[in-house]
Each structure stands twice: as structure tokens, then as C-alpha cells.
Amino acid sequence: MKKVTMYTDGGCSPNPGPGGYGIVITYGEHRREFSGGYRRTTNNRMELIAAIRGLQALKEPCHVTLFSDSQYVVNGISKGWAQRWKSRGWLLSDKRPAENIDLWEQLLALCKTHQVGFEWIRGHNGHAENESCDRLAGEASRRQELPIDAIYERDGSD
């Protein structure tokens, strides 16, 4: 199984608002950067979508170390939060409904395809790949005619 290192970041300004995500994938001497965005979404959705799009970009099952500055994403998988929410019918421990179920479902499925270790990295702390992801996400959020985050806009979440 190939060993891949992945850095992801996502954000919105304002939150909610136009959002973007950035991804840097390295494998040996190879490096790939890419990004995308949505016209109205949230920071947490962009952080999740960054991880999802990065894992979807892999052409075969891989051993992935995924670095994110989002504790929501890292803890959601590493501490088993998302799996517990799912086992309770997508309810949090206080019985409130979980958010971003559509994205957590996708991320959990991708974690079955790939062997993924999630690592938290402090954002805006001078780490080159994290800074690249942040730049890519910001640029993507400012693109003209961003696509619709259909689930977010349909649900009218804020």
C-alpha cells in the first residue's frame, strides 16, 4: 500500500458564507495541490470537504497520514465521535442532531477504503503545507460563480 501524506484546510469568510478548501498531497517526489469552493457554506463543511476531496483523489487504497488544523475533523474520526453519532442515529450525546451528516458519512466510508491516520496541526503557524492549503482555500472562496453546496443551502442551515 502506498504511503501518502495529505494536508487539508477549509474555511469561510464570513462563516457561513463563500467557502473554499485546499489540499496538498505528497507521495515520494510527487506533489499535487488543488482546491475548490462553494458560494454559501460553513467552515466545518469546508474542513470536511477538504478531507473528502483529498481522499477521493487517490486512485487506489493508500496508507494516508492526513494533517488538518480542524479539531472537529481530526477528533471526529480519531476519537470516534462520528462513528458514535452514526451508531446513535446521528444524535449527539445530548440527543441534539449531529451536523454535516452527509459529509461524515462520506468521510467514514473513505476511511474504510484507505488506512487513514488523522493528525492535528496548528493552523497559521508557519507550516509550509498548511499555509499552502490555507492560501488555496482562500483563493478558491473568492472565485467567481462558485457552485452551490446543495445540502447546506437546501437545509437552510445557519
pLDDT tens sequence across 79-131 = 999 999 999 999 999 999 999 999 999 999 999 999 999 999 988 788 899 99
Q: How far apart are CA 44 and CA 74, in angstroms?
A: 11
CATH number at residue 7: 3.30.420.10
Domain count of the chain? 1
Q: How far apart are CA 146 and CA 132, in angstroms?
A: 20
Domain extent for 29: 2-155
pLDDT value at residue 100: 96
Which one of 10, 22, 36, 54 is the catalytic residue?
10
Contacts 24+ apart (CB under 8 A), 119-127: 119/65, 119/66, 119/67, 119/68, 119/74, 120/67, 120/68, 120/69, 120/70, 120/71, 120/74, 120/75, 121/7, 121/67, 121/68, 121/69, 122/69, 123/9, 123/69, 124/69
37 is catalytic: no
pLDDT tens sequence across 32-86 = 999 999 999 999 999 999 999 999 999 999 999 999 999 999 999 999 999 999 9
69 is catalytic: yes
80 is catalytic: no
134 is catalytic: yes
* Amino acid letter for position 120: W
54 is catalytic: no
What's phi and psi for 116, nearest 5 deg?
Answer: -115, 125
Torsion (CA) 113, 59, 76, 123 in degrees, nearest 10: 160
Q: Is the pLDDT of residue 153 over 90?
A: no
pLDDT value at residue 39: 95
pLDDT value at residue 157: 55
Which one of 63, 105, 119, 124 is the catalytic residue?
124
* Amino acid letter for position 11: G
